Amino acid sequence: MSAIFTLKNIGLEFIVDGKKRPVLDDINLIIDDKKIYTIVGASGCGKTSLLRILGGLNSPSKGQIHYHNQPVTSPPDGVAFVFQDYSNSLLPWRTVEKNVALGIERDLSKKACLERVKEALHLVKLSNCAKDYPWQLSGGMQQRVQIARALATRPSVLLMDEPFAALDAMTKASLQDELLRLRDETGASIVFITHDIEEAIYLGDEVSVLIGPPGKITSHFSIELPFPRDQIKTRELPAFLKFRSDIHHAIQGQS
Amino acid sequence: MKQFFSYKNLAGIGGILIFILLWESTIRLGSYDFEFIVSPSQIAAAWLPMLLTANFWNELTHTLTAALIGWLLAAICGIILGISMGLSSRLRQCLMASFELLRPLPGVAFAPVGLILFGFSLKMELLVIFFPTLWPIVGNTLSGIDQQSNRLHELVKIYHIPPLQAAFSIYGPAAAASILVGLRISASLAVIMAVIAEMIGNPEGLGYAIIREQQGLHPAEMFAYIITLGVIGILVNQLLIQLAKWLMPGQFLRTTS
């Protein structure tokens, strides 16, 4: 199995008022096929910066990043991004359908594009809202539009930056379950950033703990919990609770 | 603006009626005696037959055509200039100083220039309309681009949208609300400048008609033309609001609902 992303000794510095501000330090990470990677850490620890490096939106100051063995210099093909702020990320003058088509409309024929949009909307259960405008939808639905837009490009990796952080608990739970289903249906790998430890365990096959600034990955957990996951039962499993306390300690112990 | 016409806006309509009534009674009662201030009823009496003459409609058409052409030219140039300056920092550096220098120049100052260049003609009028109407469009387009979230930039990168297409299908529409503000300001301005150009330069259209009636000592007709311009102003604004709704159903509904 070849790795999708390989990160070696990645470091990132921003220059603020002429002073160097370290953001990430010595990050090593391998992203494999068909897995969900969650990266959990406190706010301001460099989680988003790490995701932006994966997406080719920021270049690391140190180290190497490869996507399918190619160095990453700009956003690579096959990588899709889902941002936290859905309202800024969707185009308000485009209908849901046209928003979802954004990534594919140039490369596909009109018919093929429409087909693909339909399929993506079906995946996120929004087939009935194709002609609506994003701002006519609830927050959870808007976030699903953003996920559909990403899926329409048939990505090999989905990069998600705290996508459910702004949503209420119930919407969040149902979107978490949908995400697990989507992974099974599409076979895309997912890198998921969150500050919610339970969410990280519930979704993740692999959980990495990021402590910072400057952000460093201090521990990894391979989550072995039974599928299908269930919002009540999974969260009550002793193994789940053990992961929760271990990760909690991993974050607190070093901050 | 919508409320202006709605039947529910009784208070607004009442206000106008009271004003007209006061004006009428002041003149009728002779409490204000000035030969050249006429009463609303006299203005109406002059206006209605005027509406039946071909001359009136020719004058109206002339002014509106001049304003429309000048405004369209300014809109095309202004939007292209604003988007280019918004997206290219180099172009912006080159042009910003000139922009700040030219913007405060009063548009009327171009009237003598236009007269020298083009004589008493439509071209002269267009020059006087074009320059002042250009700046609000450039300025609003530019600020519309500036206010955009950085996210749009990232979307363009992630989905590999080529620059020209990004300008037309992402950055342009995202600035549309702001561009339309600029277009509305300059539409009113275009009518104003057309009238001024006709008053001091090209002897045609409504602007010239006002001067002609003033010099012929026909105050009722003069006021009738002024009221005509007021009506045009309202209609132009309404038209642009409808245009905005039609152009971007999404955003407009959101801002008004």
Q: Using H for helix, E for strand and C for coil, what is the string for chain A?
A: CCCCEEEEEEEEEEEECCEEEEEEEEEEEEECCCCEEEEECCCCCCHHHHHHHHCCCCCCCEEEEEECCEECCCCCCCEEEECCCHHHHCCCCCCHHHHHHCCCCCCCCHHHHHHHHHHHHHHCCCHHHCCCCHHHCCHHHHHHHHHHHHHHCCCCEEEEECCCCCCCHHHHHHHHHHHHHHHHHHCCEEEEEECCHHHHHHHCCEEEEEECCCEEEEEEEECCCCCCCCCCHHHHCHHHHHHHHHHHHHHHCCC
Amino acid code (one letter) for A91: L
User: Is B72 a domain residue?
Assistant: yes
Instruction: Identify from B148, B154, B158 which residue to disrupt to test chain A contact, counting A C-beta atoms within 10 A and taking the largest count.
Output: B158
The residues that bridge with A64 in the sheet, in sequence order, are A8
Q: Is residue B23 part of a domain?
A: no
Tens of pLDDT, residues B116-160 = 888 888 888 898 899 889 999 999 999 998 888 888 989 999 898
CATH number at residue B193: 1.10.3720.10
The answer as to whether B96 is a domain residue is yes
The Cα A74–Cα B157 span in angstroms is 8
A135 interfaces chain B, CB cutoff of 8 Å: yes
- A221 in B contact zone (CB under 8 Å): no
Supply the pLDDT for residue A255: 45
A55: which chain B residues are within 8 Å (Cβ-Cβ)?
A: 158
Q: Which residue of A has its CA nearest to B247?
A: A93
| ipTM of this predicted structure | 0.84
Q: Cβ–Cβ of A103/B174 closer than 8 Å?
A: no
| Interface contact A57-B157, CB threshold 8 A | yes
> What percentage of chain B carries pLDDT values higher than 70?
92
| CB contact residues (below 8 A), chain A span 52-81, against chain B | 55-57, 74-75, 77, 79-81
CA distance B158 to chain A (A): 5
**Residue A30 tokens, joined:** 């391998």
A221 pLDDT tier (thresholds 50, 70, 90): confident
Question: B40-77 in b/e burial notation, b at 16+ Cβ within 10 A?
Answer: bebbeebbeebeeeeebeebbebbbebbbbbbebbbee
User: Contacts from A41-44 at CB under 8 Å and sequence distance 24+?
Assistant: A41/A195, A41/A209, A41/A210, A41/A211, A41/A212, A41/A215, A41/A251, A42/A195, A42/A211, A42/A251, A42/A255, A43/A195, A44/A212, A44/A213
Q: Is residue B52 part of a domain?
A: no
Domain boundaries, chain A: 5-78+155-252
Let me know if residue B27 belongs to a domain.
no
Contact yes or no for B174 and A55 at CB 8 A: no
* Beta-carbon count within 10 A of A62 CB: 15
Min Cα–Cα distance to chain A from B169, Å: 10
CA A84 to chain CA centroid, Å, is 9
pLDDT score of B8: 66
User: pLDDT by residue (tens digit) across A44-68?
Assistant: 888 888 889 888 888 888 888 888 8
- Whether residue B257 is predicted with pLDDT greater than 50 in this model: the reply is no
- Average pLDDT rounded to a whole number, residues A227-255: 83
Residue B104, preceding peptide bond in cis (omega within 30° of 0): no
Interface of B with A in 140-159 (CB under 8 A): 149, 151, 154-155, 157-159
Residue A175: how many other CB atoms lie within 10 Å = 19
Name the residue range of residue B162's domain: 60-207
Q: Which of B147, B153, B159 to mutate to test the interface with A (most CBs of A within 10 A)?
A: B159
Partner-chain contact B159 A153, CB within 8 Å: yes
8 Å CB contact of A88 and B158: no
The more confident residue out of B79 and A16 is B79
Is the Cβ of A83 closer than 8 Å to some Cβ of chain B?
Answer: yes
Domain assignment of residue B226, yes or no: no
Which of B149, B150, B155, B161 to probe the A interface (max A CBs under 10 A)? B155
- In a 10 Å sphere around its CB, with 0-12 CB exposed, 13-18 middle and 19+ buried, how is residue A240 labelled? middle
- Chain A residues with CB under 8 Å of B247 CB are none
Say if the Cβ atoms of B176 and A93 lie within 8 Å: yes
Q: What is the mean pLDDT of residues A71-78?
A: 87
pLDDT for A191 equals: 93
* pLDDT computed for residue B4 by the predictor: 54
**Residue B256 — very low, low, confident or very high, per pLDDT cuts 50/70/90?**
very low
Cβ contact, residue pair B158, A79, below 8 Å: yes
Number of domains in chain B: 1
pLDDT greater than 50 at residue A134: yes
Q: Does A89 touch chain B (CB under 8 A)?
A: yes
Point out the least confidently predicted range of A21-35, A220-234, B25-39, B225-239: B25-39
Residue B241 forms part of a structural domain: no
With CB atoms and an 8 Å threshold, state whether B158 touches A92.
Answer: no
- The structure tokens 């941002």 sit at A83
Which of the residues A83, A85, A93 would you substitute to probe the B interface, choosing the one with the greatest number of B C-beta atoms within 10 Å?
A93
A89: distance to nearest CA of chain B, Å? Answer: 6
A85/B159 Cβ within 8 A: no
Contact A55 B158 (CB under 8 A): yes
pLDDT of residue B5: 56
Q: Render pLDDT for B72-128 as a digit per residue (tens, 0 to 9).
A: 999 999 999 999 998 888 998 899 888 888 888 887 888 888 888 888 888 888 988
Residue range A1-7: average pLDDT? 78
Q: Residue B50 carries which side chain, given as an amino acid letter?
A: M
If you classify domain A5-78+155-252 with CATH, what class do you get?
alpha beta
| CA nearest to B143, candidates B182, B190, B88 | B182
Find, in chain B, the residue whose alpha carbon is nearest to that of A76.
B158
Closest partner residue to A89 (CB to CB) among B155, B248, B253 is B155
Identify all chain B residues contacting A81, using CB atoms and an 8 Å cutoff: 154, 158
Spatial separation of the C-alpha atoms in residues A25 and A46, rounded to whole Å? 10
Task: Please list every residue in chain A whose beta carbon sits closer than 8 Å to the beta carbon of residue B173.
Answer: 91, 93
Mean per-residue pLDDT, B222-237: 91
Within a domain: residue B216?
no
A146 pLDDT above the threshold of 80 = yes
Q: What is residue B241's predicted lDDT score, i.e. its pLDDT?
A: 84
pLDDT digit string, tens, across residues A91-110? 988 889 999 999 888 888 88
pLDDT of B195 reads: 92
The residues pairing with A24 across neighbouring beta strands, listed in sequence order, are: A12, A215
Number of CB pairs, chain A paired with chain B, less than 8 A apart: 50
> Does the pLDDT at position B205 exceed 70?
yes
Q: Which of B155, B165, B250 sits opposite A92 (nearest CB)?
A: B250
Per-residue pLDDT, B77: 95
Q: Kindly determine whether residue A106 and residue B149, on different chains, have CB atoms separated by under 8 Å.
A: no
Per-residue pLDDT, averaged over A180-196, amounts to 88
